[in-house]
Amino acid sequence: MSDTEIDLAALLCSRLCHDLLSPVGAMNNGLELLADEHDPEMRKRCMDLLAESAKSAADKLKFFRLAFGAAGGFGAEVDPGEARAVIEPLVSSSGRTELQWSVPPMHLPKRAVKILLNLVLVAHDALVRGGTLHVGAENRDGECEIVIRAVGPRIILDETVKATLTGAGDEAQIDSRSAAAWMVYSLGKINGGVIQIASPAENELIIGALVR
């Protein structure tokens, strides 16, 4: 494994830990409150907090396992339904973002699914006030086209993330926030793939990938 691959793995682990810190911390707080609380109503609230935090942590682990890890089996293709199953909880958890799914029920190359998942993560992060996340993909003639469209009242795409997606960034500046973008670029450039970014309007972000 090269130093670059080790760096990418470390940054992806940092991103995973960062995202899990909030729900795991909430579970810890809930357990501490539960230990000292005797009022039945307050104990119920603590249990609700624990259940909600546990679900959030589990949902994020399932997403990252498929996006960063070896989930999906050892075959060359993955059922996109698996991707949708982990994307929906991530997108809808805040109640501010709606997912619109336009991916036909045909198996996609595993590399394309990982690119799709990481692009969803990038676009979802950019929807700082929520909105709508459109996810589309089509596999034909040995190529997979992926389009992620984010529409919302306020969209902020970190400049380092943007540069990393297209390979224009400095690897020395890549951190846990841009690790997903680095993974997209690294997987996408294989066999001459292309990643493109467009902002047709102030409240719209489109990221496309051609995976060969």
Q: Where are any strands of DSSP class E within the chain?
A: 77-78, 97-102, 108-109, 131-140, 143-151, 194-198, 204-211
pLDDT in tens, 172-203: 788 999 999 999 999 999 999 999 999 999 99
Domain tally, the chain: 1
Res 170: pLDDT? 81
Q: Computed from CA positions of residues 6, 65, 145, 206, in that sequence, does the dihedral angle turn out positive or negative? A: negative
Q: Could you report the per-residue pLDDT of 123-148, keeping only the tens digit for each?
A: 999 999 999 999 999 998 889 999 99
pLDDT of residue 20: 94
What is the residue whose two structure tokens read 């470390």?
10
pLDDT (tens digit, 9 = 90+) per residue, 22-62?
999 999 998 998 888 889 999 999 899 999 999 999 999 99
Total residue length of the chain = 212
CA distances from 41 to 26, 36, 37, 47, 165 (A): 18, 13, 10, 10, 49
pTM exceeds cut of 0.85 = yes
* Enclosing domain of residue 196: 3-211
Alpha-carbon span 145 to 142, nearest angstrom: 10
State residue 75's pLDDT score. 72
When pLDDT is averaged across residues 67-89 and rounded to a whole number, the result is 87
- Which pair of structure tokens corresponds to residue 112? 């394309």
Sign for the CA dihedral angle at 133, 134, 139, 140 comes to negative
